Amino acid sequence: MRKISISSRTAIVIASVMLGGQLAQAQEGKPISGGAITWGVATEPSCFDPHRASQQAAFFVARNYIDSLVGKKADGTFAPWLATEWSVSPDGKEYTYKLREDVVFHDGEKFDAAAVKANYDFVKKPENATNAVALLQYFDRAEVVSPYVVKLILTQPDSTFLESTSNVKLGIISPKALAKGDLCGGGPLLAGTGPFVFERYSRGQSAAFVRNKDYKWGPGYAVHTGPAYLDRVTLRFLPEAAVRAGALTSGQVDLIEGVQPTDVALFADQAEFKLLTGPSGASTSFTFNINYTIPPADDVRVRRALRDGFDLEPLVKQVYLGTVPRAWSIIGPANPAYNKALVGAWGNNIAGANKLLDEAGWTGRDSEGFRTKNGVRLKIDVGYPQPYVRDNREVLIQGIQAALRKNIGFDLNLRIITAGEYAKNNANGTWTIYPNTDNPSDPARELWDMLGSKGFLYSNIANPDLQITGLIDEALRSTDVAKKRAITDEIQKLGVDQAFIVPMFAPSWFLAAKNNVNGLSFEAGLDSPSSAYDFWLSK
Amino acid sequence: MWSRIISRLLTSLVVAWASVTAAFLALHALPGRIQDILAGDLEYPGLREAIAAEWGLDRSLPAQYLDFLLRILQGDFGTSYVLRQPVTEVVGSQLMPTVQLALLGGLLAIVIAVALALLTAGRGRISRQIASFLELVFASTPVFWLGILLLMAFSFTLRWFPVSGASGWKSIVLPSLTLALPTAGLLAQVLREAMEKTLDQPFVTTVRSRGVGELVIRARHVLRHALLPAVTLGGWLIGGLLGGAVITEKVFGRPGLGTVTLGAVLTHDVPVVLAVVLLAAFIHVAASTVLDILYLLIDPRLRAQ
């Protein structure tokens, strides 16, 4: 009984926060400058250099000291940032950016077209070993047209490229800093143009940022202009969720991220605290990716039976206490490219699933009650690499496992595997079901990651489905916004219809803060909390 | 006595060598190519080749093994490709906070255990039973949970101590107490049992008959006899402290080997994991060697051969 009351109350609070974002801004009053906050975060980035980082948790940290050419707005369009305007050539292969002329790096260097070229050249060069190079699949070279105009030239049209230039991974670092070598360790050496200067990093403990007083080139989507309000932001790395929550309730930190569903009631509806929930899978949902080339999953009837043989909604509600929505598509519901037509279009059809399996010849039953065909049990492994198991996702999968067994005699076998075993399965193309959430990028790029012919799941599979890989290539090339939207809608529909993918839920970020911390929000391009640029403290 | 010490040292060397060998074999027994395993999550052109060159993967297994042994001997644990730093630098910079925490925790455990044993051994039943119950509770409470309980009481509610941070001595009180209590619980039980046995010995009666005070009897004569079984536990104790320190660091968000190890495991940073495993093995070997030599100093009977 108590559980129900917490979750329904939470749902109401979350809904009101989501709807009332602008309202809250008005109620908070007029922002004032000054003060310092301590932010308890769950994950300590192993690398602070945005070009090289690979963890989702590193990117919202980097946003504090790194700016991009353009900014991505919540509605999926783009706002000026370091570039005041941009244009694309008719053939879709040349992107020209006109840059601000008043931008200075933290180390005193001037920001100009040469600096942009230095960054793109640096990322593209294989020996620099950047993670961001994946975004430059079709990037050829950069040209300095004039001191403040730069042209980025592609080998073929790439509809995801503008989004990539807004990505923090391709943020601009001082060329002088780039030349110094390794910037993963952060600190003042890692000089960007962002609203905060990276003051100090103490491994295992904290990272400190101080206000960039000269900052007047904030992104077009920010709430204010000019320097950040806060004098100082300190990130404290507190990996234990209960400790983060306790540190906030006892006032030792001002703001935390990664609030557990069970701790939500500590902060929701409390006079001293506020709770915000972030974009619900602006990137991808948490999905089962089913390798459709390996029996028995090469039979679409088996995949569809897996997709429809259980009721997802109560399972998600039970594990996450109503704090996250169930998913309907590969792309998350907060993403403008989300295909809404899929809502209610599939799932929870147990009779239908049983009928499909009967038709497919899985009519026998073994001693444990599982279906068999020619004496072989209907069984597919879910290989979940241990390092990625988090926030009770394995519990949700176990719930699905139990439901499929009971409902349709399907043996969905969850195995927590090592990273090495997964790497081997991926290299041989022998993975069977891979549970995943993708890093945020352009929707076509995300679909390519999951289902594309050279994406990370299907790059080593000899005979991927030509219809879906063809559509993805078309989406990557398509520079017409409406046409591209129609194609990504079609890919999402096909992915679920063919049950290449079974979406499970849309992960969210939870922020909790003291009541005097204002201006908290989420950034669309990061699919995570925004930088501290708009944060301010009321008295 | 010297021959015993030397043979003990030689045995330790063999154990250390065996642990390096085991680590090497374990690395090669993992599924997948060595360069993929060592690269962790990283993937860029030239990385696999660079790793293959650094580790000499094109050579025969025995040649690679010899090279591995030589490098470890020189204190070279290779490069962390994920952190892009030499492993020695990564581990070295995080070693001191963990050693500090483990030493303080160990010291605190010994002080608590000795005090408890001295005060309660052979005394009234009720005080013994209370102490014994407390010790049992502490010894059987997981470090992880104990840390959170202490934080809830003394940090979140009473606000006497911070969660973590560099705010001087205050920030190390709760972590070292977390680490000390389970160890102290077990140690006190062993000490008391041994002290009670010793108190029944005829030599205690002899000492008493000379008019020596009770506290002096206990602290100077009985405790020394009771120390032997406690020292036997020493190797286990040091392992417990190191393992406990890793968990304690995670709970309190402190810097140290625990944080590095956890990060390395999560990012598949195998060179760092390998170095931590070897370091732990070496510390175990060194500690048990020191303790065995300590036996000789505590117990004159062992020296007289």
Question: What is the rounded CA–CA span in Å between residue A50 and residue A315?
Answer: 36
Question: What is the rounded CA–CA span in Å between residue A128 and residue A178?
Answer: 10
Q: Is the pLDDT of residue A461 over 60?
A: yes
Q: Across chain B, what does the average pLDDT equal?
A: 85
B282 contact partners, CB below 8 Å, separation of at least 6:
B16, B19
pLDDT at A7: 38
Average pLDDT over residues A466-474: 95
pLDDT at B45: 61
pLDDT in tens, B192-242: 888 888 888 898 888 888 888 888 888 888 888 888 888 878 777 887 888
* Pairwise pLDDT comparison (A411 vs B127), residue with the higher score: A411
Average pLDDT over residues A54-74: 90
Considering CB atoms only, which of B97, B155, B259 is closest to A246?
B155
pLDDT at A513: 96
pLDDT at A282: 62
Whose tokens are 């030397």? That residue is B6
Inter-chain CB proximity B83 and A204 less than 8 Å: no
Q: Across chain A, what does the average pLDDT equal?
A: 89
Inter-chain CB proximity B156 and A250 less than 8 Å: yes
Distance from CA of B140 to the nearest CA of A (A): 21
Considering CB atoms only, which of A236, A243, A421 is closest to B151?
A243
DSSP string spanning A8-60?
HHHHHHHHHHHHTHHHHHHHT-S-----EEEEEES---S---TTT---HHHHH
In chain B, which residues have their Cβ closer than 8 Å to the Cβ of A41?
Answer: none
> How many Å is the Cα radius of gyration of chain B?
24
- Asked whether the beta carbons of B138 and B105 are under 8 A apart, the reply is no
pLDDT at A232: 97
Q: In this structure, are strands A206-211 and A196-202 parallel, antiparallel, or unpaired?
A: antiparallel
Considering CB atoms only, which of B82, B163, B262 is closest to A247?
B163
In chain A, which residues have their Cβ closer than 8 Å to the Cβ of B84?
Answer: 47, 52, 182, 184
User: CB-based contact (8 Å) between A206 and chain B?
Assistant: yes
Question: What is the rounded CA–CA span in Å between residue B75 and residue B279?
Answer: 10
Average pLDDT over residues A181-205: 91
pLDDT at A524: 79
Considering CB atoms only, which of A55, A126, A182 is closest to B46?
A126
Inter-chain CB proximity A44 and B263 less than 8 Å: yes
Question: What is the rounded CA–CA span in Å between residue A153 and residue A130?
Answer: 19
pLDDT at B264: 83
pLDDT at A130: 84
DSSP summary character for residue A341: G
Nearest chain A residue to B81 by CA distance is A129
Q: Token pair of B276, please? A: 């931590």
Question: What is the rounded CA–CA span in Å between residue A110 and residue A175?
Answer: 10
> Any idea which fold A8-42+195-279+508-537 has?
D-Maltodextrin-Binding Protein; domain 2 (3.40.190)
Q: Token pair of B135, please? A: 């010790």
> A143 in helix, strand or coil?
strand
pLDDT at A451: 93
Q: What are phi and psi of A304, to 5 degrees?
A: -65, -35
pLDDT at A17: 41
Paired strand residues for A417: A385
Inter-chain CB proximity A205 and B250 less than 8 Å: no
Question: What is the rounded CA–CA span in Å between residue A307 and residue B51?
Answer: 42
pLDDT at A10: 41
Q: Is the pLDDT of residue A274 over 90?
A: yes
- Asked whether the beta carbons of A493 and A342 are under 8 A apart, the reply is yes
- Is the CATH code 1.10.3720.10 the one for domain B95-304? yes
Residue A387 confidence class, pLDDT cut points 50, 70, 90: low
- Asked whether the beta carbons of A283 and A440 are under 8 A apart, the reply is yes
- Asked whether the beta carbons of A537 and A516 are under 8 A apart, the reply is yes
pLDDT at A280: 63
- List C-alpha distances in Å: A9 to A4, A236, A280, B215: 8, 30, 19, 62
pLDDT in tens, B82-140: 777 788 888 888 888 888 898 899 999 999 999 988 888 877 788 888 888 999 999 89
Superfamily classification of domain A286-505? Dipeptide-binding Protein; Domain 3 (3.10.105.10)
Longest dimension (CA), chain A: 76
User: CB-based contact (8 Å) between A24 and chain B?
Assistant: no
pLDDT in tens, A307-354: 999 999 999 999 988 888 899 999 988 888 999 999 999 999 999 999
pLDDT at A391: 77
Q: Token pair of A361, please? A: 């010849």
pLDDT at A335: 86
Considering CB atoms only, which of A130, A182, A243 is closest to B253?
A243
pLDDT in tens, A86-139: 999 999 999 999 999 999 999 999 999 999 999 999 999 987 878 888 889 899
Question: What is the rounded CA–CA span in Å between residue A113 and residue B132?
Answer: 74
> B44 in helix, strand or coil?
coil
Interface of A with B in 126-185 (CB under 8 A): 126-127, 129-130, 133, 182, 184-185
pLDDT at A134: 81
Distance from CA of A252 to the nearest CA of B (A): 7
> A140 in helix, strand or coil?
strand
Average pLDDT over residues A254-276: 89
Inter-chain CB proximity B45 and A250 less than 8 Å: no
Residue A396 confidence class, pLDDT cut points 50, 70, 90: very high
Nearest chain B residue to A248 by CA distance is B156
To the nearest whole percent, how much of chain A has pLDDT over 70? 94
Distance from CA of A47 to the nearest CA of B (A): 7
Inter-chain CB proximity B31 and A420 less than 8 Å: yes
Locate the domains of chain B by residue range. Answer: 17-87, 95-304
* Pairwise pLDDT comparison (B268 vs A373), residue with the higher score: A373
* Pairwise pLDDT comparison (B284 vs A209), residue with the higher score: A209
Cα within 13 Å of Cα(A307), Cβ side:
27
Inter-chain CB proximity B253 and A237 less than 8 Å: yes
Query: Residue A171, Cα to own-chain centre: how many angstroms?
Result: 17
Inter-chain CB proximity B260 and A133 less than 8 Å: no
- Other Cβ atoms less than 10 A from the Cβ of A488: the count is 26
Instruction: Tell me the CATH class for A70-177.
Output: alpha beta
